[in-house]
């Protein structure tokens, strides 16, 4: 009786478009692709009631990987195009590269993200579910994802269009609901999709609404708008992707009857949502509307601030819409700036680390009083390895409820003198490292060799090739102190020519070391994604982060690493500046002078490579004092640092982050 009611309620609240009935196999009784259906019904009802302040979170991308979190199951077999492709490896152990590729049985990450911004959005929404907030997330269904990275021998990255099948992706459902957005010379129809993001305990969900222009009766051009994330080769495509998120998001919320009081713009990409809401309002109503919008800025890098000429805006948008943009977002005559627009229409603006706030204050002095900061975080139970979860469970007297209160991890300091904890911590790390070695078995990694990783988006300011800057020095460290394994991974945006050049250079450097793999093994993994990110951040000994300060607004991959006791080797930038007084690794490199932003293209490669090699030498030396061919010295300072990493992770997570959003930005605490 009860079950029947739940399923009926679900289908009346959620208009699933299921003409051939295949979703009925996965949505029945109290079951939604293996997770509880009644939590969806509760969330859908709650968003439609008017008792609470609903939050709508807008983001161009969401990093969600069923392989790491929200394990949806399906009665249908996994479609070939939704399973992970075989990935190539480019290493200086060339025989293995020729004969082997990497296999995984996993499903692909939901392909609607490109990097850190998306991962942050995904982790934020998971935490909203953990906090049982009345929230909905809005994004776009990218029909061809971002892109698939293929190595073209040692000559660089060949971006390949990716194909996936949203109709059979577990947990993702198309709705019958269509909405329409009206542009100057045509209407664009959008189909709505839904994906549900469960809390860690499966006791609450946040719906993610995805917008899709690939429907009848749209023109061919309109159908392609939601094809690939971040197309920037054509200004109209770039503009219309943002228009779809903003206009489409607002229409979708009203189509679904959600009651929303707070509109959170994760990046300025979504700011046209304000334009859609402000249409036709009187001045005092526009002022009231501003109190409902908040904005998070994610980068100090120039390319991250969208600008469009009013000529272009006028070609696409109706006059009443460009009037609103002109009124709130004009940088100078003829030019609109979405960052300024976002700040002008929001009641709260935040940077994503303390350092980033200082940079924003320099970049936007007129907005100084308005710009706060909330340092980013990572969702602990997505990024903490099972071996570490098991370890903390064993020490539950110290970490009683770490699953619902990650702040308790700071208590690890009390275990510094506990030799049992110290050796089990090392064992947990070695087990993670053994998983990495198994994954790369054909490349013959050794879990008792010092292993360092650089894996992130390949962008100039992140200085991807810094560790390879002088390979003769690298070889010398490996010969004189001890062998080294280096793992690299990262995609360059297909229109970023500089990024391409970095990948060429890196592959070329690896190629030059073809003979030296006994003491220095370098492995560049193709097609970096969340599943690889999780494996790498939890299993290497040292996480390398060497952006040029102050251009890394926050960075989050190092936060994933410290949750797993992985030491940091980093320049002092982004979140790291807030942890650099703690012994969690080694810090080095250029420091920008307070009060100036500096030049993002003056990369200080020579000086910083020198410092990098000196810092690396120190860490390799300490590593081999700690690990003698598999025999560990549990009293080593290395293990003190691992423990300190865990203490610091108590702070750099999305629970602390959401507490701050609630009190400082949404003002609902
Ligand atoms: C965490 C993560 C990022 C962000 O890393 P940064 O350190 O912020 O550059 C990017 N891509 C993937 C796949 C990630 O998991």
Domain ranges across the chain: 2-346, 387-658
Atom of ligand 1 nearest to the CA of 558: 7
> Sheet harboring 450-455: ordered strands across?
89-91, 520-525, 484-489, 450-455, 542-545, 567-570, 585-587
In whole angstroms, what is the distance from residue 192 CA to residue 333 CA?
37
Atom of ligand 1 nearest to the CA of 532: 13
Binding site membership of 557 for ligand 1 (Cβ less than 6 Å): yes
Binding site membership of 406 for ligand 1 (Cβ less than 6 Å): no
State pLDDT tens for residues 225-241: 999 999 888 999 999 99
Burial zone of 601 (CB within 10 Å; 0-12 exposed, 13-18 middle, 19+ buried): exposed
**Four-point Cα dihedral 258, 263, 269, 274, nearest 10:** 90
Binding site membership of 555 for ligand 1 (Cβ less than 6 Å): yes
Closest residue to atom 7 of ligand 1, CA basis? 557
Reading the block at residue 30, the tokens are: 């109290």
**Residue tagged 């139970």 (tokens):** 381
**How many angstroms does the Cα of residue 120 sit away from the middle of ligand 1?**
9
Closest residue to atom 11 of ligand 1, CA basis? 115
Name the region of 492 (left: φ>0; alpha: ψ -120 to 50; beta: rest): beta
Atom of ligand 1 nearest to the CA of 560: 1
Q: Is the peptide bond before 550 cis (omega within 30 degrees of 0)?
A: yes
Please give the pLDDT value at position 345. Answer: 98
Average pLDDT rounded to a whole number, residues 137-163: 92
156 pLDDT tier (thresholds 50, 70, 90): confident
**How many angstroms does the Cα of residue 282 sit away from the middle of ligand 1?**
43
Please give the pLDDT value at position 456. Answer: 96
> Ligand 1 pocket check: which of 61, 63, 123 to mutate, most ligand atoms within 8 Å of Cβ?
63
Please give the pLDDT value at position 2. Answer: 55
302 pLDDT tier (thresholds 50, 70, 90): confident
pLDDT above 60 for 644: yes
Check residue 411 and report its DSSP letter: G
Residues forming a β-bridge with 35? 32
Fold of 2-346: Rossmann fold (3.40.50)
Binding site membership of 115 for ligand 1 (Cβ less than 6 Å): yes
pLDDT above 90 for 291: yes
Binding site membership of 456 for ligand 1 (Cβ less than 6 Å): yes
State pLDDT tens for residues 304-350: 899 999 999 999 999 999 999 999 999 999 999 999 999 999 999 99
Binding site membership of 464 for ligand 1 (Cβ less than 6 Å): no
Average pLDDT, the chain: 95
286 pLDDT tier (thresholds 50, 70, 90): very high
> Ligand 1 pocket check: which of 64, 119, 462 to mutate, most ligand atoms within 8 Å of Cβ?
119
State pLDDT tens for residues 522-558: 999 999 999 999 999 999 999 999 999 999 999 999 9
In whole angstroms, what is the distance from residue 309 CA to residue 161 CA?
30
> Ligand 1 pocket check: which of 67, 301, 352, 457 to mutate, most ligand atoms within 8 Å of Cβ?
457
Atom of ligand 1 nearest to the CA of 528: 13
Binding site membership of 383 for ligand 1 (Cβ less than 6 Å): no
3 pLDDT tier (thresholds 50, 70, 90): low
Name the region of 384 (left: φ>0; alpha: ψ -120 to 50; beta: rest): beta
C-alpha distances (whole Å) from 257 to each of 482, 530, 574 are 63, 33, 39
Check residue 236 and report its DSSP letter: H
Average pLDDT rounded to a whole number, residues 204-219: 97
Atom of ligand 1 nearest to the CA of 120: 1
Binding site membership of 111 for ligand 1 (Cβ less than 6 Å): no
Element (H, E) at 193: strand 187-198
195 pLDDT tier (thresholds 50, 70, 90): very high
Q: Is 387-658 the same fold as 2-346?
A: yes
Nearest one of 648, 650, 627, 651 to 583, comparing CA atoms = 648
Binding site membership of 116 for ligand 1 (Cβ less than 6 Å): yes
**How many angstroms does the Cα of residue 475 sit away from the middle of ligand 1?**
28
**How many angstroms does the Cα of residue 558 sit away from the middle of ligand 1?**
9
Average pLDDT rounded to a whole number, residues 561-568: 98
Atom of ligand 1 nearest to the CA of 530: 13
pLDDT above 70 for 665: yes
pLDDT above 90 for 423: yes
Average pLDDT rounded to a whole number, residues 235-262: 97
Element (H, E) at 530: helix 530-539
**How many angstroms does the Cα of residue 456 sit away from the middle of ligand 1?**
5
pLDDT above 60 for 1: no
Any residues with CB less than 8 A from the CB of 30 and at least 6 apart, and which? 3, 6, 7, 36, 37, 38
Closest residue to atom 1 of ligand 1, CA basis? 557
Please give the pLDDT value at position 50. Answer: 85
pLDDT above 60 for 102: yes
pLDDT above 90 for 155: no
> Ligand 1 pocket check: which of 121, 375, 557, 568 to mutate, most ligand atoms within 8 Å of Cβ?
557
CATH of domain 387-658: 3.40.50.2000
User: 19 vs 119, which has greater pLDDT?
Assistant: 119
Reading the block at residue 153, the tokens are: 């021998």
In whole angstroms, what is the distance from residue 582 CA to residue 650 CA?
13
Average pLDDT rounded to a whole number, residues 153-169: 90
**How many angstroms does the Cα of residue 116 sit away from the middle of ligand 1?**
4
Q: Which stretches of 301-454 are DSSP H helices? A: 310-316, 319-329, 338-344, 354-363, 380-383, 386-394, 419-439
pLDDT above 90 for 303: no
In whole angstroms, what is the distance from residue 646 CA to residue 626 CA?
19
State pLDDT tens for residues 572-602: 999 999 999 999 999 999 998 888 898 998 9
In whole angstroms, what is the distance from residue 669 CA to residue 667 CA?
6
Closest residue to atom 4 of ligand 1, CA basis? 116
pLDDT above 90 for 127: yes
Given a contact cutoff of 8 angstroms between Cβ atoms, the answer to whether 338 and 307 are in contact is yes
Please give the pLDDT value at position 4. Answer: 62
**How many angstroms does the Cα of residue 406 sit away from the middle of ligand 1?**
21
Q: Give the rounded distance of the alpha carbon of 383 from its chain centre.
A: 12
Closest residue to atom 2 of ligand 1, CA basis? 116
In whole angstroms, what is the distance from residue 388 CA to residue 564 CA?
7
**How many angstroms does the Cα of residue 618 sit away from the middle of ligand 1?**
26
């Amino acid at each position: 009786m009860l079950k029947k009611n739940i399923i009926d309620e679900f289908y009346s609240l959620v208009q699933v478009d299921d003409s051939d009935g295949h979703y009925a196999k996965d949505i029945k009784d109290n079951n939604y692709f293996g997770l509880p259906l009644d939590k969806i019904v509760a969330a859908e009802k709650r968003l439609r009631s008017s008792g609470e302040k609903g939050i709508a979170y807008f983001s161009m991308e969401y990093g969600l990987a069923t392989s790491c979190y929200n394990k949806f199951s399906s009665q249908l077999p996994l479609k070939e195009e939704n399973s992970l492709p075989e990935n190539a490896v480019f290493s200086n152990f060339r025989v293995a590269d020729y004969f082997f590729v990497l296999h995984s049985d996993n499903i692909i990450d939901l392909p609607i993200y490109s990097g850190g911004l998306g991962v942050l959005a995904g982790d934020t929404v998971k935490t909203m579910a953990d906090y049982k907030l009345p929230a909905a997330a809005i994004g776009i269904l990218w029909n061809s994802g971002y892109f698939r990275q293929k190595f073209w021998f040692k000559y660089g990255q060949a971006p390949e269009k990716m194909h996936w099948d949203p109709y059979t992706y577990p947990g993702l459902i198309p709705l019958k609901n269509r909405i329409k957005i009206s542009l100057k010379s045509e209407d664009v129809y959008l189909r709505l999709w839904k994906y549900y993001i469960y809390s860690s305990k499966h006791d609450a969900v946040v719906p993610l609404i995805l917008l899709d222009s690939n429907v009848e009766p749209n023109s061919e051009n309109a159908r392609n708008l939601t094809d690939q994330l971040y197309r920037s080769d054509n200004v109209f495509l770039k503009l219309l992707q943002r228009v779809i998120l903003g206009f489409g998001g607002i229409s979708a919320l009203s189509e679904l009857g959600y009651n929303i009081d707070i509109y959170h713009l994760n990046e300025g990409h979504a700011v046209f949502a304000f334009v859609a809401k402000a249409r036709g309002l009187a001045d005092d109503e526009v002022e009231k509307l501003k109190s409902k919008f908040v904005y998070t800025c994610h980068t100090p890098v120039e390319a991250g601030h969208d600008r469009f000429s009013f000529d272009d805006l006028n070609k696409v948008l109706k006059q009443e819409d460009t009037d609103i943009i002109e009124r709130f977002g004009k940088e100078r005559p003829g030019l609109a700036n979405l960052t300024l627009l976002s700040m002008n229409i929001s009641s709260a603006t935040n940077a994503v680390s303390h350092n980033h706030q200082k940079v924003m204050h320099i970049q936007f002095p007129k907005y100084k009083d308005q710009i706060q900061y909330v340092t980013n975080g990572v969702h602990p139970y997505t990024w903490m390895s099972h071996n570490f979860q098991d370890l903390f469970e064993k020490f539950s007297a110290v970490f009683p409820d770490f699953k619902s209160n990650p702040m308790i991890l700071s208590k690890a300091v009390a275990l510094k003198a506990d030799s049992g904890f110290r050796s089990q911590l090392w064992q947990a790390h070695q087990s993670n490292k053994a998983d990495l070695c198994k994954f790369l078995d054909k490349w013959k990694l050794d879990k008792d060799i010092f292993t360092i990783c650089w894996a992130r988006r390949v962008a100039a300011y992140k200085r991807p090739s810094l560790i390879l800057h002088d390979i003769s020095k690298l070889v010398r460290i490996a010969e004189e102190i001890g062998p080294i394994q280096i793992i690299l991974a990262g995609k360059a945006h297909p229109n970023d020519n500089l990024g391409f050049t970095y990948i060429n250079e890196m592959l070329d450097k690896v190629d030059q070391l073809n003979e030296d793999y006994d003491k220095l093994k370098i492995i560049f993994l193709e097609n970096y994604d969340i599943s690889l990110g999780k494996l790498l951040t939890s299993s290497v000994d040292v996480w390398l982060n060497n952006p040029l300060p102050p251009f890394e607004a926050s960075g989050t991959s190092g936060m994933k690493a410290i949750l797993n006791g992985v030491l940091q080797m980093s320049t002092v930038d982004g979140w790291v500046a807030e942890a650099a007084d703690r012994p969690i690794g080694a810090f080095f490199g250029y420091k920008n002078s307070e009060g100036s932003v500096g030049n993002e293209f003056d990369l200080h490669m020579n000086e910083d490579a020198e410092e990098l090699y000196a810092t690396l030498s120190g860490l390799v030396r300490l590593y081999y004092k700690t690990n003698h061919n598999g025999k560990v010295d549990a009293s080593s300072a290395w293990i003190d640092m691992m423990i300190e990493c865990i203490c610091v992770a108590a702070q750099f997570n999305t629970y602390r982050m959401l507490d701050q959003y609630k009190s400082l930005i949404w003002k609902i605490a």
